[in-house]
Amino acid sequence: MGNDKLISFENVSFSYSDESSEEIRYALKDINLAIHRGEFIAVLGHNGSGKSTLAKLSNSIYAPSSGKVFVEGMDTSDPENEFPIRKKVGVVFQNPDNQIVASIVEEDVAFGPENLGIPPAEIRQRVDEALRAVDMYGYRLHETHRLSGGQKQRVAIAGMLAMQPECLVLDEPTAMLDPMGRKEVMSIVRSLNRERGMTVVYITHYMEEAALADRVVIIDNSRIAADASPKQIFADQALLSRCGLAVPEITQIAYLLNKMGFSVPPDILTEEEMIQAIQTVSRSG
C-alpha cells in the first residue's frame, strides 16, 4: 500500500453558523486523515460527532471552511474538479429510498452511467456487473418499491458501482436495516474491498461492523480522537468510554468468559475468532 494516498484531509475544519445563537459551530475541526488505496476504514462516533460531514467533504458535496481535502491530488474546493472527483469517490447514504430514482432495478443502476454519457453497450455491461457484485442480478427487472430495505441498499450500492469509482464512502448504510439486511450489506462491502480491491470508508455506529475493518477512526467532538487497528481501539476501554462508545458484543462475551475462569483472548472481535478460541479451550481442557 505504501504512500498510495487516495484521499487526504489536511487541517480540515467545517463550520456553520447556528441561527439561534449566531455563534459559529464546528462539525469538524482540524482534521488530518489519509485514506490509502485498497484500505477498509471504519469511522465511528456518536450522533453529531461530524461523521456525515466527513463523508460529504470526501467528494465535493461540501467544501471545507478551512484546510484542504485532496482526492488523488485534486482540490475538492475547486468547482472544476467536482465532476472528476465524483467519478473517483462515490457516496452511499443512510436511506436508500432517497437514492433510488427509477421504478425498475436495472434502470436505477443505469441512471449514473447514463448521466456520464457512457455508450449504451457499456452501460448494459456495467449494470449487469454491478448487480452481480451485490447479488441482485436476479432482481434486475423487479420494481424497486417492492424490495426489502437491505435489497434497496444493495441496489443503491450497485448504482454507485456502475459509475466505477475507486473509493466507496458509505454513510451509515445499515442504520435503517434489520440485522439480516445489515449482514447482507456488510458482506457485500467486505467482498468489494477484499476481492475487487475497492477502497472503502465505512461510517457506522455498530461496533461489530467496525471490528471488520483494517483501521478504525473515532471522531469525537468534531476531532479525530483515535486512528488505529480495531484490536488496538477496542482494547482501550478508557478511550471508548470517553467517546461514549462500547466494545463489540463478542468482545464483551470474551471478557465475561475470562471472568468466569475460561482462558480466551480478551481482544476477540468476531464470531469466527470466538469459535476458534472456544475450540482451543475445549481441546486443552
- Please tell me the distance from the alpha carbon of residue 36 to that of residue 3, in angstroms, as a whole number: 7
**What per-residue confidence (pLDDT) applies to 2?**
45
- Please tell me the distance from the alpha carbon of residue 125 to that of residue 112, in angstroms, as a whole number: 13
- Provide the H-helix boundaries in 27-81: 51-57
Q: Name the packing angle between helices 271-284 and 249-259 (round to 10°).
A: 20
DSSP letter (8 states) at residue 65: S
| pLDDT tens digits along 1-23 | 445 899 999 999 999 877 776 77
**What per-residue confidence (pLDDT) applies to 255?**
82
**What per-residue confidence (pLDDT) applies to 180?**
87
Sorted by where each begins, the domain ranges of the chain are 5-247
| pLDDT tens digits along 20-34 | 767 788 999 999 999
Q: What are phi and psi of 254, to 5 degrees?
A: -60, -40
pLDDT over 60 at 201, yes or no: yes
Q: Judge contact between 217 and 189, C-beta under 8 A.
A: no
Q: Judge contact between 127 and 106, C-beta under 8 A.
A: yes
What's the mean pLDDT when you consider all of the chain? 90
Confidence of residue 283 (pLDDT cuts 50, 70, 90): confident
**What per-residue confidence (pLDDT) applies to 3?**
59
CATH topology of domain 5-247: Rossmann fold (3.40.50)
* Chain-centre distance for alpha carbon 80: 26
Share of the chain above pLDDT 70, in %: 97
- Provide the H-helix boundaries in the chain: 51-57, 82-88, 105-115, 120-133, 149-161, 179-196, 207-210, 230-235, 237-242, 249-259, 271-284
| pLDDT tens digits along 93-147 | 988 898 899 999 999 999 999 988 899 999 999 999 999 999 999 999 999 999 9
The mean pLDDT of 195-214, rounded to a whole number, is 93
pTM of the model: 0.89
| pLDDT tens digits along 223-258 | 999 999 999 999 888 899 899 998 888 888 888 888
**Interacting residues of 187 by C-beta distance below 8 A, sequence separation 6+:** none
- Please tell me the distance from the alpha carbon of residue 266 to that of residue 33, in angstroms, as a whole number: 29
**What per-residue confidence (pLDDT) applies to 21?**
67
The mean pLDDT of 257-283, rounded to a whole number, is 82
Q: Which range is most confident: 12-16, 46-50, 260-264?
A: 12-16
Confidence of residue 160 (pLDDT cuts 50, 70, 90): very high
| pLDDT tens digits along 52-91 | 999 999 999 999 999 999 999 999 999 999 989 998 999 9
* Chain-centre distance for alpha carbon 29: 21
